[in-house]
Amino acid sequence: MKSIIILLGPPGAGKGTVGAELSGILDMPLISSGDLLRENVKNETPLGEKAQKYMDAGELVPDSIVIKMVEGKVAEDKYSKGFILDGFPRTLAQAGMLEGIISGNDILRVFYLKAGDDFLVSRLSNRRVCEKCGKIYHLVNLPSRVEGVCDACGGKIVQRQDDSEDVIRKRLNVYKVLTAPLLEYYRKKGVLHVIAGDTNVEHMLDSIRKIIKW
C-alpha cells in the first residue's frame, strides 16, 4: 500500500513551497516535474534540450516526454511507499498514466491550491529561487536571511526565466485550458480537497493537517 499526494493548482499557488514543507513533515519524498525538467535543462540532457523551448514559452512540455520522465522516477525504490507530486499530473493523459500505477489499496489525496490570477502574477513576480538547491523564496513574504544568498546551501538566488509577467499570464491560460479539467476528474473520484492558496504557509499546512491528521 502506498500513499500518494497530488498538489494541483495554478502557477504560483504554492505547490513547490507546500510540497517541500509536507515532504519534511510527513517524511515522504517529493517529485516536482518542473524541478526535474529544469535539472535536465541545466545539465543539457537530450530531454532538457527538447523541453526548454516549451518551458521558456510558458507552454506544457509534451505528454510523451513528461510521462516517460515521471514513470522512470516513480519506479525507483525510494518511492515504493509513496510520494508527493508537485506539478504532475497536468493533463488528462498524465492523470491516466498515474492511474495505471495506483492499485486498489493505495491512498490518493489531491489538494487543489486555489488562488486568483492577479494575486498569482504579483506573487510570482516576487519569487526567487536558489540556482543550486532550488529552495524557493519570496522577496516580501519569505526572504533569505542575506540578500541574494540561499539560507540552505549558500547558493546564488535568482529569478526563474519563466517568471516574467507575459510568460506568467501565458502559463495561467495554459493551466485553465489543460490542467483545470483535472479538478473535475478528481472531484468525481471523491479525492479532491480545496485549500486556499492565497494565505500564509502555516494556514495552508493547517488546512491540510485537518485532512491528513499528522
161 binds ligand AP5 (CB under 6 A): no
Q: Which of 22, 31, 55, 130 binds ligand AP5 (CB under 6 A)?
A: 55
Start-to-end CA span in the chain (Å): 18
Taking CB under 6 A as the criterion, the residue among 8, 31, 98, 204 binding ligand AP5 is: 204
Among 23-31, 59-67, 151-159, 185-193, which window interacts with ligand AP5 (CB under 6 A)?
Answer: 59-67
DSSP, collapsed to helix, strand or coil, labels residue 143 as coil
Tell me if 52 contacts ligand AP5 by CB under 6 A: no
Kindly state the smallest distance separating residue 60's Cβ from ligand AP5, in Å: 4
Q: How far is the CB of 130 from ligand AP5 (least distance, A)?
A: 12
Q: Out of 15, 38, 123, 135, which one is annotated catalytic?
A: 15
Question: In the block, which residue shows the cell 518542473?
Answer: 34
209 is catalytic: no
84 is an interface residue for ligand AP5 by CB under 6 A: no
Distances (CA, A) of 151 to 102, 131, 135, 202: 37, 12, 9, 19
Q: Catalytic annotation on 187?
A: no
Considering only 8, 28, 66, 182, the residue that binds ligand AP5 (CB under 6 A) is: 66
Kindly tell me the sign of the dihedral angle through the C-alpha atoms of 125, 150, 53, 23.
Answer: negative
Question: According to CB under 6 A, which one of 80, 122, 173, 200 is a site residue for ligand AP5?
Answer: 200
Q: Phi/psi of residue 116, each to 5°? A: -85, 160
In the residue annotation, 127 being an active-site residue is answered as yes
Q: Can you tell me the distance from the alpha carbon of 77 to that of 57, in angstroms, rounded to the nearest whole number?
A: 34
C-alpha cell at 127: 519569487
Sheet holding 136-138, edge to edge: 136-138, 127-130, 157-158
d(CA 5, CA 110): 6
Cβ closest to ligand AP5, residue 194 vs residue 201? 201
Residue length of the chain:
214
Residue of 89, 109, 106, 101 whose CA lies nearest to 182: 89
Q: How far is the CB of 105 from ligand AP5 (least distance, A)?
A: 26
Is 90 among the residues known to form the active site? yes
135 belongs to the binding site for ligand AP5 (CB under 6 A)? no
Residue type, 173: N
Cβ closer to ligand AP5: 37 or 189?
Answer: 37
Catalytic residues: 15, 90, 127, 160, 171
